[in-house]
Structure 1
Amino acid sequence: MTKAVLGIIGGSGIYDLPGLEAVEEIKVASPWGEPSDLVRRGRLGATDIVFLPRHGRGHVLGPSDINYRANIDVLKRMGVTDLVSLSAVGSFKGDLPPGTFVLADQFIDRTFKREPSFFGAGCVAHVAFSHPVAPLLQKRVAAAAAAAGIGHAVGGTSVCMEGPAFSTLAESLFHKAQGWDLIGMTSMPEAKLAREAEIAYCFVGMVTDFDAWHEEAGPVDVALVMHHLNANADKGRRLVARLARDFPAEHEPCPVGSDRALEFAIVTAKEQRDPALLAKLDAVAGRVL
Structure 2
Amino acid sequence: MNKAVLGVIGGSGVYDLPELEDATELDVESPWGEPSAPLRRGRIGDTTVVFLPRHGIGHRLSPTGVNYRANVDALKRAGVTDLVSFSACGSYKADIGPGVFVLIDQFIDRTFRRPSSFFGDGCVAHVPFSDPVAPKLVARIAQAATSAAVPHVLGGAYVCMEGSQFSTRAESLAYKAMGASVVGMTNMPEAKLAREAEISYASVCMVTDFDAWRPQETGVEVPQVLAVMRQNSEKARRLVTELAKGFPEFHEVCPIGSDRALEGAIVTPPQSRDPALVAMLGAIAGRVLPEVR
TM-score, normalised to structure 1's length?
0.99
1:84 maps to a residue whose letter is V
Cα drift, residue 227 of structure 1: 1.6
Q: Give the SS at the match of 1:133.
A: coil
Measured in 1, the distance between the counterparts of 2:214 and 2:87 equals 21
Cα drift, residue 191 of structure 1: 0.1
2:211 maps to a residue whose letter is D
Measured in 1, the distance between the counterparts of 2:173 and 2:210 equals 11
Describe the superposition over 1:59-118 as per-residue Cα deviations: whole angstroms up to 9, x where unpaired: 000000000000000000000000000000000001110000000010000000000000
Describe the superposition over 1:245-273 as per-residue Cα deviations: whole angstroms up to 9, x where unpaired: 00000000000000000011000011000
Aligned pairs for 1:144-223 within 5 A: 144-223=144-223
1:16 maps to a residue whose letter is D
Instruction: Tell me which stretches of 4 or more aligned residues in structure 1 moved more than 4 Å.
Output: none
Measured in 1, the distance between the counterparts of 2:69 and 2:164 equals 19
Aligned match of 1:9: 9
Aligned match of 1:70: 70
Measured in 2, the distance between the counterparts of 1:221 and 1:14 equals 19
Unpaired stretches in structure 1, ≥5 consecutive residues: none
Aligned pairs for 1:37-48 within 5 A: 37-48=37-48
CA contact (8 A) 1:5 1:79 kept: yes
Measured in 1, the distance between the counterparts of 2:26 and 2:177 equals 45
Measured in 2, the distance between the counterparts of 1:214 and 1:223 equals 18
2:59 maps to a residue whose letter is H
Measured in 1, the distance between the counterparts of 2:134 and 2:178 equals 24
RMSD of aligned residue pairs (Cα, Å): 0.6
Aligned match of 1:245: 245
CA contact (8 A) 1:111 1:162 kept: yes
Describe the superposition over 1:116-147 as per-residue Cα deviations: whole angstroms up to 9, x where unpaired: 00000000000000000000000000000001
Describe the superposition over 1:163-217 as per-residue Cα deviations: whole angstroms up to 9, x where unpaired: 0000001100111111110000000000000000000000000000000112344
Measured in 2, the distance between the counterparts of 1:189 and 1:218 equals 30
Aligned match of 1:23: 23
Measured in 2, the distance between the counterparts of 1:118 and 1:229 equals 32
Q: Give the SS at the match of 2:79.
A: coil
2:30 maps to a residue whose letter is S
Aligned match of 1:284: 284
Identity of aligned residues (%): 64
Cα drift, residue 221 of structure 1: 1.5
Q: Give the SS at the match of 2:56.
A: coil
2:81 maps to a residue whose letter is T
CA contact (8 A) 1:210 1:217 kept: no
Measured in 2, the distance between the counterparts of 1:233 and 1:266 equals 39
Measured in 1, the distance between the counterparts of 2:209 and 2:177 equals 17
1:168 maps to a residue whose letter is T
Measured in 2, the distance between the counterparts of 1:214 and 1:75 equals 39
Measured in 2, the distance between the counterparts of 1:208 and 1:215 equals 18
Describe the superposition over 1:214-235 as per-residue Cα deviations: whole angstroms up to 9, x where unpaired: 2344300111211200000000
2:142 maps to a residue whose letter is A
Measured in 1, the distance between the counterparts of 2:284 and 2:22 equals 27
Unpaired stretches in structure 2, ≥5 consecutive residues: none
Aligned pairs for 1:225-244 within 5 A: 225-244=225-244
Cα drift, residue 22 of structure 1: 0.9
